[in-house]
Structure 1
């Protein structure tokens, strides 16, 4: 038990589902469901691992007595009942893992109250908690008078093509109310606009071509390069000088190969990470005397935009963010791939124009999603807050406005409701991601209560 564990009617009902829910989560985590281009086909649009994960959760739902639509294998729709729609959106895909895990990233190892593994918190653990909340309500006869759908997607981490297919190709209807367990408790009423742009500079002779980084929404944590034209003595000397200026940097030199180890962090919070790619470019800039590169390091590496006038704010948001998740060099041009998150009042193209004006180079906006803001005084916010507060007795925590993007943006009348509890750092997108089992179990009761409260709104309308 932890500080959020309370004895309530729903928590007592949920207890009998704990062993089965835990077993289901272990099996789910053991599926490596990173999007895999090498195994993509018509019936595996996001690769074999994602297909296996979507199949697993669908077959589990059938076993639990729900209806399933496989949705062309873009997502798995789990449903029950008839009438006005209440939706839940979770995802089965996960971000890539590094070699720096202590626990097996797809091993679902349990130590004390914690289960370690990629997806335990983002988003397989919350998905299983929500599914067993539905099972509880079905068994108690509380899924009557409305239709509930739980849609488990396969591409949330790389653009949400799963829900785009669900709504725009399959033309599935939008819900009256919906939530996604892909954020924080108590709930998230506002999310920043999420944009991607490239920032390109012509820098011939920098090095041989290279490409660093796997995902745009994670701070680039590993970067390596071979500099055959520079003596090992000079490389070591430069390393010594660099560590004098940046004592926290992790630099390794083997022969002519230089490797920087940074710290991964979620794209919405780049200031909690350390960008290995930017550090390595800064190191090279000192060796090759390229002041432009040194300037880019100082402008970008904090990730908050303050050094180039990009730290926008609004009534709902106190900051903006710029995460470089990928860096590519073709022998002539150096390109940063930047995940930018902005308040609802800022036009993404204007923000890109500011970057180009202040830093030079060519800036191209690749994609953008609108910010999401739901009235914090709305009925939906009120009843979900009521469910959270009554299940946890936490009357202090307030509705949140965040930089992270959730599935809520892909639907309508939808917000993020859990599953990270206040004060928790579950290392989402980082090494050693985990979930507290007490938090996992508590979420079942909270989601059950929340669905019942939303159902009351539906029936009242």
Structure 2
């Protein structure tokens, strides 16, 4: 069966693949804690997307299982012996909030210049459907396999991974023996840094010629805040000139201010930067830290603002913060200040500091540095932490996937270790595999997220052959 022309098989299913992908992209599957119920553990959107995905699998003749709307799976190879090995494929239906700055509606997918634009196009609905069609090809060609396949879709990958915690506790099946997640890039991701969010706590007290009433910024801990909003009062004389001067002084950041003065002499100020994935904070412009820098310069006196606007500003490696660390194999720690919440009447204001750390350091060492920051009243950790993960190049999982990549692309494969966290790390023998190719523009977690149609098709062909080689 090795003479299958996988690229031709994908091309024959191009229109169907895109139609099925659009049916998922049209669903706003952002987590919404305000609408959590026993039936919608992360809000209605992720459930709707999961149900749609499982309905596509049922349509195509797979046996499907929905585990209480937390996650679900379909299986292939149920006719194989009970002791057959299981290949797990892990994807996710949830997306990060769309945010602002889109040129088209984020949940009305459209193709422009050969690219599919929508939230989730590249993270992770596009790669998920490319992988789904890779397996669909093998099924429709009735290719004999010796390993079972369990294709698992989660609904909380972008937040706390509560979906997978629940799934593994309640699914009633042994874990897959090995597997991959189509949620990163080629040639392979066989190592992932640790991931912890630690929250800096502050009092609401602030003094100075300008008084800060509130400050909010950021949508998710794993996103660079595109914008931030502050309400201020006090000495606001010449404020427009100060806006203009600050934008000019930071011209390379393309900052944009909005402001509105209310009847009670309070002014609302919004500063726009540029969002990016929190694992690569250097690719964005943190609107919250730049707004804090501005407020610090015009007279707000507050530890919250001082730390946000001076220490956290452009501190992508945590050097000013004091948590910088580099490992020869896994690389350097990265830091993203992702969510900011402040009210002058509150005693528990927070900045969420998300660190992607290599082997050699840990969350406790990071905590010891953060708790010593002047003006910080307490530090707490997120309930969910990922420790560093690595699958050796010698593992047949890694070598097989790299071999398929090299065969189909003509490019040399190599290992990669990233700061991002994927479901690949759910298994001891688990990796991330595609769907971005070297040199592709990364728009994950950004406005105008897209996946090129040709990338979608190339990835589907690679997934088809990869699944075949792993499970034949």
Deviation per CA, 1:209-256, whole angstroms, max 9, x where unpaired?
Answer: 34322211001111122323333x332233244235323332233332
CA distance in 2, matches of 1:307, 1:212: 21
Asked if the contact 1:189–1:416 (Cα under 8 Å) also holds between the matched residues in 2, the reply is: yes
Cα RMSD over matched residues? 1.9
CA distance in 2, matches of 1:294, 1:240: 21
Partner of 1:343: 358
CA distance in 1, matches of 2:393, 2:444: 26
Partner of 1:45: 41
Asked if the contact 1:190–1:316 (Cα under 8 Å) also holds between the matched residues in 2, the reply is: no
Is structure 2 residue 311 aligned with structure 1 residue 299?
yes
Partner of 1:155: 156
Q: Which runs of 5+ in 2 are unaligned?
A: 262-266
State the Cα distance separating 1:79 from its structure 2 match: 0.7
Asked if the contact 1:304–1:311 (Cα under 8 Å) also holds between the matched residues in 2, the reply is: yes
Asked if the contact 1:11–1:391 (Cα under 8 Å) also holds between the matched residues in 2, the reply is: no
User: Compared with structure 1, are the counterparts of its residues 210 and 307 closer, same or farther at alpha carbon in structure 2 (3 Å cutoff)?
Assistant: closer
Is structure 2 residue 371 aligned with structure 1 residue 327?
no
CA distance in 1, matches of 2:374, 2:88: 44
CA distance in 2, matches of 1:13, 1:290: 63
Deviation per CA, 1:270-311, whole angstroms, max 9, x where unpaired?
Answer: 111111111112211222253853454232122211223322
**What's the TM-score, normalizing by structure 2?**
0.90
Partner of 2:117: 116
Partner of 1:3: none
Deviation per CA, 1:71-119, whole angstroms, max 9, x where unpaired?
Answer: 1111120111132100100001101012310011011100121010000
Asked if the contact 2:145–2:468 (Cα under 8 Å) also holds between the matched residues in 1, the reply is: no
CA distance in 1, matches of 2:36, 2:203: 34
3-state secondary structure, aligned to 1:179? strand
Partner of 1:4: none
State the Cα distance separating 1:413 from its structure 2 match: 1.5
Asked if the contact 2:92–2:124 (Cα under 8 Å) also holds between the matched residues in 1, the reply is: yes
State the Cα distance separating 1:57 from its structure 2 match: 0.8
3-state secondary structure, aligned to 1:207? strand
Partner of 1:100: 101
Is structure 2 residue 104 aligned with structure 1 residue 88?
no
Partner of 1:430: 446
Is structure 2 residue 229 aligned with structure 1 residue 218?
no
1:60 to 38, 56, 60: 56
CA distance in 2, matches of 1:124, 1:254: 39
CA distance in 1, matches of 2:178, 2:5: 24
Q: Which moved more, 1:26-35 or 1:293-302?
A: 293-302
Deviation per CA, 1:41-68, whole angstroms, max 9, x where unpaired?
Answer: 2222122111111111111111111110
User: Compared with structure 1, are the counterparts of its residues 15 and 240 closer, same or farther at alpha carbon in structure 2 (3 Å cutoff)?
Assistant: closer
Partner of 1:388: 405
Partner of 1:242: 246
Partner of 2:288: 277
3-state secondary structure, aligned to 1:208? strand
3-state secondary structure, aligned to 2:327? coil
- Of Structure 1 and Structure 2, which has the larger fraction of its residues in helix? 1
Q: Which moved more, 1:435-444 or 1:276-285?
A: 276-285
Q: Which moved more, 1:115-124 or 1:311-320?
A: 311-320
Q: Which moved more, 1:287-296 or 1:175-184?
A: 287-296
Partner of 2:264: none
